[in-house]
Amino acid sequence: MAVINLWAKQGYMSTPDGQSIYFWGYSKGAAEPAQLPGPPIIVKQGEAVTINLTNNLPEPVSVFLPGQTGVKVGSQFVKPQYSGGNLISFVNYASSNGGTVSYTFTPTRPGTYIYESGTNPHKQVLLGLYGGIVVRPEDYDENTSRTAYGSGTDTEFDREYLIIFSEIDPSLHQAVIEGKPYMISKHHPRYWTMNGRCAPDTMLPDNAPYLPSQPYGAMVMAEPTEKVLIRYIGAGIDSHPLHPHGNHTRIIAMDGRLLKNGARDRSFKRFTVLVGPGQTYDQIFQWTGLGYTLDNPIPTIIPNRRNLGIGEAGWTMWSGSPYLGEKGEIPEGVVSFNEVGEYHFMLHSHSEPKITNWGAFPGGMMTMISIYPTGFLSPDVGVLSQPVGKE
């Protein structure tokens, strides 16, 4: 049996423009900070799971598990909770200021799922009480059978990334601090996040010490021809059109359901994926270089050097050379973040206001897919693992 321990806490997150925003989030330890998103829960199909929640917040909180069946508290199935005839929670909750609750279930299907508070969700989920669940197939083996949905499903992968999208309206967060009312109909996001971070912080590594409450980056890194499994989760209340520049992904599953009808493959390629609230997508991305071979080492049109800087800061991910694995000169005044001559392709929301931080570009839902020279990346890059919190 897998035992997951979560704590609901308050904390502060950082934005690249210097703001510190109050939020509510799940934590992986009694002495650990609240984090955004909550720690990933990684379990196996058919494995019994217990989630123990301790609530340190000033109102009831729960863990709602869309897509999971047979969820129980004690010997009873979870059920909606009412107060004075009003629905206050979709499932049983932990009482405020130290209350606890334990949920048990056995996942029957592999896939990607969201977990979130089912209590006052229009408030608590937007404040940050959400995270992702990855259910491995029964025959999953990290060394010999690394697939998203089991052997024979054409879902093999070499590296794997989980990206959760949401929005932040600082007015909601400030209202909660001050105990003031907030009209959800007035929701007006100013920040858009990938794994709890706004660009360019999305491109920083996992567990960056200066982002203690936002431990997960959103950079996708791979080598040529590798199969990369990218899992999307929509955790906000907006829909987000997301796409990698100049590339397609193959959608293999939606909402934890493999796109296959019997023996018939129903997966499809997509340039832009519209991720709605609560939705999940599983995709395979494979960079074959748009014709890149050793005999055709420049598989693209070289952009005008004047257009290589991004924003007023003059940033670029360009190496200065069109050859994979080589670096060259860059325009004067442009700062390059290129590491070893790798290729970068922007992955971002196609709704342009969402790639800003309170109106300033670049920011928001933007990161990079980075293709490194063969043999450069460690096998540890692009590996999802269960953080502390699972017994």
As a whole number, mean pLDDT of residues 10-16 equals 97
In three-state form (DSSP H/G/I as H, E/B as E, the rest C), the secondary structure along 142-179 is CCCECECCCCCCCCECCEEEEEEEEEECHHHHHHHHHC
Asked if the model's pLDDT at residue 231 lies above 60, the reply is yes
Strand (E) positions, 240-380?
240-244, 249-254, 257-258, 260-261, 264-265, 268-270, 273-275, 280-286, 315-316, 335-336, 343-349, 366-371
370 domain residue, yes or no: no
DSSP state of 248: -
Residue 320, in any domain of the structure: no
Between 245 and 124, the higher pLDDT residue: 124
pLDDT in the model for residue 216: 97
**pLDDT score at 313:** 61
- 301: in domain: no
- Asked whether the beta carbons of 279 and 300 are under 8 A apart, the reply is no
**Position with higher pLDDT, 95 vs 307:** 95
Look at residue 346 and tell me if it is in a domain: no
Rounded to whole angstroms, how far apart are CA atoms 244 and 272?
A: 8
103: phi then psi, degrees, rounded to nearest 5: -110, 140
Residue 136 counted as domain residue: yes
- Of 128-142, 222-236, 329-343, the least confident: 329-343
Q: How far apart are CA 159 and CA 347, in angstroms?
A: 17
Residue range 130-136: average pLDDT? 97
In the predicted model, what is the mean pLDDT of residues 33-51? 96
Q: Any idea what DSSP says for residue 181?
A: -
Tokens coding 205 = 């590594």
pLDDT of residue 294 exceeding 70: no
How far apart (Å, rounded) are the C-alpha atoms in residues 153 and 265? 9
Mean pLDDT of all residues in 44-72? 97
The rounded distance, in Å, linking the Cα atoms of 272 and 126 is 24
Quote the domain boundaries for residue 232.
2-287
In a domain, 384, yes or no: no
Q: Are 324 and 298 in contact (CB under 8 A)?
A: no
- pLDDT over threshold 80, residue 373: yes
Q: What is the CATH number of the domain that holds 69?
A: 2.60.40.420
pTM score: 0.94
| 163 vs 334 pLDDT, higher one | 163
* Mean pLDDT value across residues 234-250: 92
For residue 188, tell me if it sits in a domain: yes
Mean pLDDT of 340-364: 93
Cβ atoms of residues 228 and 50 within 8 Å: no
Instruction: Write the pLDDT tens digit of every residue in 44-57.
Output: 999 999 999 999 99
Mean predicted confidence (pLDDT) in 93-121: 98
Mean pLDDT, the chain, rounded, equals: 92
Contacts of 181 (CB under 8 A, 6+ apart): 175
pLDDT at 38 over 80: yes
Model pLDDT for residues 153-196, shown as the tens digit of each residue: 999 999 999 999 999 999 999 999 999 999 988 999 999 999 99
| Domain-embedded: residue 278 | yes
Number of structural domains the chain divides into? 1
In this model, does residue 134 exceed pLDDT 70?
yes
What is the structure's pLDDT at 297?
A: 62
User: In the structure encoding, which two tokens stand for residue 167, read together?
Assistant: 């929005």
More confident residue, 179 or 316: 179
Contact 232, 254 (CB under 8 A): no
